[in-house]
Amino acid sequence: MSDQSFFMYRLFYLLIITALSCNLDADKRQLINSDQKHDHEKGAVVFKTHCAGCHGADLQGALAPGLIRDDWKYGRTKGLMVRNVTYGISGTDMAAFRTILSPEEIEKVVEFVINRQVISPTNEVPIPRLVTTKTYDLDIEEIVGEGLETPWAIEFVDANTALISERSGSLHWLRDGRLDDNVVEGTPLTHLGSSTGGYMDIALDPNYDSNGWIYLSFSFCRSGYSSADAPATTKIVRGKISTNQWIEEQTLFEAPDSLWVKGGNRWGCRMLFDDEGHLLFTIGDMGKDADSQDFSKVTGKIFRINPNGSIPDDNPFTGRARILTTIYTLGNRNVQGLSIHPETREIWATEHGPMGGDELNIIRPGANYGWPVVTYGVNYDGAVVSNRTTQNDMESPVYHWTPSIGICPIEFVESEMFSDWSNNLLIGSLAFEQIIRCKIQDHQVVDQEIILQGVGRVRDIKTAPDGSIYIVLNRPDKILRLSVAAPVVN
């Protein structure tokens, strides 16, 4: 065969292969489109059969609210919507469909509703510039709009400077309202075995101005382990920052290796210094429910130590055998917020329930907060955790939220800028993406107001030295500043 004939043969062969490939790709696309059309039609049938009578055939509402909307009070992700359809929404007319529809049917009907939206529920919502509340018009300023990935906590070191922890294991500076491009070098490695692990809270020593100690909480495993099943623990350290280097690190709390957890979840960890200068920190139950009641386990507790890691003499379980004497309270599923009441000086805490039963508690030394013996929630699969919501030897919450709002940070207001909110409690929600203002009287929540909603998962709330309120958001990862808007001069 001549070179020319061979070339023509190869060209013909390539053309045939290309044509066949194009036909296969077209057939594949047609099959995919057909499957998508079938899924859409299946979701439409489920909706027409089971949902249209309440929500309207065109999703515009009938006996129940319409489902073409731009505000999603009970969560705007597909996963939360599937959960709402599966298990219902307590306190509303939304029933559970898990015994009526299969998991596939529920997924298809949720996808059908999402695909009918003019604006996708998961789209980033613009941050409002001005928000009107019962008391104030709030000026909302986006301080950081990019450059962070899942920030967890913010802590001000002076009037113009703050530290921000990032889940992946970084500390960032916020200087004069701008995010510094350079992260702090030499910070400890963290374990990212689950979506709740990584760097968590930051706290400053009560004498930070003179000693420079910065406290950091994070999930931790030994070097060489990286999988979700690696044995790990929640660790508390302190260190200092000099010329942007993390130095003089000291380990203050780390559970014995025998108490580390494989495949853990719900690590905690919020930190707070009390009026006596002791450090309180929280560790979640890590998915080991019953261990929250076990004095020999570190999971599901609040702990109290001195700033150097030693154990205070007046801890509630000091001197008792076979008990971790760092324990301050037990029966805590996953405390995500700690704050001190400005007048009573009591420590208040927010705690994640499972599906339902997010709690607001007053923390009392040695108290048992009940998990999982008493709870207002049920498991994520709908199974009953406990038939009891109260027990005489266990603390009852000041307030509980069912369905769960994904309760997280809290901050008592003691700012002259927000004098009309003095002693009110600001609560952040992850799942419902809310900031709730609670009026507290005689240990009771007597009024609530949602002051911001739907702009992101609220991870931290902190009062700045100038009295404004900083908000740490996830999805999107932003830092907001709330202040009282100046009155309009006519």
pLDDT at residue 38, rounded to an integer:
62
- Read off the pLDDT of each residue in 308-319 and give the average, rounded to a whole number: 95
- The pLDDT of residue 415: 95
Q: What is the pLDDT of residues 2-55, one digit of tens each?
A: 444 434 434 343 334 334 344 444 443 443 344 455 666 888 888 888 898 889
Structure-token match 């929640």, residue found = 234
Q: What average pLDDT does range 471-487 have in this prediction?
A: 94
Are 171 and 200 contacting, i.e. CB atoms less than 8 angstroms apart? no
- Segment 303-315 mean pLDDT: 97
pLDDT interval class at 90 (50, 70, 90): low
Span 312-333, mean pLDDT? 93
3-115 sits in which CATH class?
mainly alpha
CA distances from 220 to 112, 168, 217, 332, 472 (A): 41, 12, 9, 21, 23
Task: Decide if 459 contacts 428 (C-beta within 8 A).
Answer: yes
Over pLDDT 70: what percentage of the chain?
90
pTM, rounded to two decimals: 0.86
Whether the per-residue pLDDT at 56 is higher than 90: the answer is no
Report the SS3 class of residue 117: coil
Asked if pLDDT for residue 346 goes beyond 80, the answer is yes
Q: What is the pLDDT of residues 235-288, one digit of tens each?
A: 999 999 999 999 999 999 999 999 999 888 899 999 999 999 999 999 999 999
For the chain, the structural domain boundaries read 3-115, 130-484
The encoded tokens of residue 425 equal 């409690």
Residue % of the chain over a pLDDT of 90: 64
- Provide the pLDDT confidence category of residue 197 given band limits of 50, 70 and 90: confident
Q: Domain 130-484 - what CATH class?
A: mainly beta
Residue 373 pLDDT: 97
431-471 pLDDT per residue, tens:
999 999 999 999 999 999 999 999 999 999 999 999 999 99
Handedness of CA 195, 218, 400, 375 (dihedral sign): positive
Predicted pLDDT of residue 40: 67
pLDDT at 339 over 90: yes
Q: How far is 49 from 357, CA to CA, in rounded Å?
A: 32
pLDDT band at 226 (very low <50, low <70, confident <90, very high): low
33, 44, 29, 64: which is closest to 114 by C-alpha? 44
Predicted pLDDT at 280: 98
Phi-psi region of 46 (alpha: psi -120 to 50; beta: other; left: phi over 0): alpha
**Mean pLDDT score, 209-231:** 87
Across residues 373-394, what is the average pLDDT? 90
Q: How far apart are CA 254 and CA 238, in angstroms?
A: 12
As a whole number of angstroms, the distance between CA 417 and CA 449 comes to 18
Confidence (pLDDT) at 22: 43
Look over the chain and give the mean of its residue pLDDT values, rounded to a whole number. Answer: 88
The more confident residue out of 487 and 276 is: 276
* pLDDT(177) > 50: yes
Q: Which runs of E-coded beta strand occur in 205-266?
A: 214-220, 231-242, 245-253, 261-262
